[in-house]
Amino acid sequence: VDLAALQARLRTFAEDRNWVQFHSPKNLVMALAGEAGELLELFQWLTEEQSRQIAHSNPDMQRVREELADVLIYVLRLADTLGVDLESALHDKIALNERKYPIEVSRGNAIKYSRR
């Protein structure tokens, strides 16, 4: 996937419709979080086990797939608007996590998970 190409396509989409004026970082963050809220609503009453089984339900997965795309669209728009290079941000964050949670220490306990 070429994230830059996807961002260019989404930017053109907004420009063609004169919608860039609405896409301030503040507004895009709200839209991103609103779409994350729609994902929550799809999973809120499921048990964890049911949430794993949802992959086998076509109608449910269709909605999950759409909401995931919506979240990703706003992630891409926000990064584009702010000039964030997502790929390098991702690599830096993963490298940070690797230092923060060494395998030997993290394996076998779940301290990150037992208390935030």
- Measured between its terminal Cα atoms, the distance across the chain in Å is 33
Please report how close the Cβ of residue 67 comes to a copy of itself at its closest, in angstroms. Answer: 9
Q: Is 36 in the site for a copy of itself (CB under 8 A)?
A: yes
Does the footprint of a copy of itself cover residue 64 (CB under 8 A)? yes
Report the residue from 8, 13, 20, 100 that binds a copy of itself according to the rule CB under 8 A.
13
> Token pair for residue 33?
């979080």
Query: Residue 11, interface with a copy of itself (CB under 8 A)?
Result: no
Query: Does the footprint of a copy of itself cover residue 99 (CB under 8 A)?
Result: no
CA distances to 14, 50, 68, 69, 116 from 11, rounded to whole Å, are 5, 37, 19, 16, 37
